[in-house]
Chain A
Amino acid sequence: MPITARQDRSARFEGHADPEASPRLHPGPLDAIWFQVTGTVCNIRCEHCFVSCGPTNRAFGFLSLGEVERRLEESVGLGVREYYFTGGEPFLHPDIVEILKRALARGPTTVLTNGTLLKPSHAASLGQAAAGSRFSLEFRISIDGFDPAAHDALRGAGMFERALAGLELLLDHGFLPIVTAVRTWAPGEEPAVYRAFVDMLRARGYRNPRIKLMPAFRIGAEAERAGGYAADERVTTRMVDGYDPDLLLCSSGRVVTDRGIWVCPILLDAPEGNLGDDLAAAASRPFRLGHAACTTCWAHGAVCANPGAALPEAGAAADPVADR
Chain B
Amino acid sequence: MILSDAAWLSPTEGPVALFGGVYSNHPALAATLEDARAASAGTAVCLGDLGAFGPDPDASCRIVRQSEIPVVQGNYDHSLGHGLPDCRCGYTDPEDNRFAAISYRYTYARTSPDHRAWMRAFPQAIRFRLGDRRVLLCHASPRRINEFLWESMSSDHFLLRLLDDAEADVLAVSHTGIPWLRQLPGRRAVVNVGAIGRPPNDGRTGAPYALLDLDPDGNPAVRWRRVEYDHDRLAAEMREEGLPEEFVETMLTGWWTTCLEVLPAKERARGRF
Contact = CB atoms under 8 A, between A and B. Distances in A.
B86 interface: yes
Contacts of A1: 5, 120-121, 123-124
Interface in A294-324: 302, 306-313, 316, 319-323
Interface in A97-152: 106-108, 130, 134-138
B91 interface: yes
A79 B160 contact: yes
Interface string B63-98: 000000000000000100011111010111110010
Interface size band for A: 35 or more
Q: Chain A contact residues: over half helix, strand or loop, or mixed? A: loop
Nearest to B260: A208
Contacts of B261: 210, 307
Given A81-B154, A307-B92, A175 B265 contact: yes
A136 B265 CA distance: 6
A269 interface: no
Interface stretch (B142-150, B211-219, B223-231, B233-241): B142-150
A75 interface: yes
A306 B120 CA distance: 31
Nearest to A212: B92
B268 A5 contact: no
Contact of A319 (B86, B164, B165): B86
B93 A307 contact: yes
Interface string B149-190: 011111111101110110000000000000000000000000
Contacts of A210: 261, 268
A134 B124 CA distance: 29
Interface string B81-118: 01111101011111001000000000000000000000
A176 B84 contact: no
B244 interface: no
B97 to A, nearest CB: 8
A306 to B, nearest CB: 7
Interface of B: 1-2, 4-5, 78, 82-86, 88, 90-94, 97, 120-121, 123-124, 144-145, 148, 150-158, 160-162, 164-165, 260-269, 273
13 contacts: A1-B120, A3-B124, A4-B4, A29-B161, A80-B158, A81-B153, A108-B153, A108-B264, A136-B152, A136-B153, A137-B265, A208-B260, A208-B273
Given A31-B158, A106-B155, A136-B153, 20 more contacts: A1-B120, A2-B82, A3-B145, A8-B1, A76-B157, A82-B153, A130-B265, A134-B151, A135-B153, A135-B266, A137-B265, A176-B268, A306-B264, A308-B150, A309-B153, A312-B88, A312-B97, A316-B97, A321-B85, A322-B83
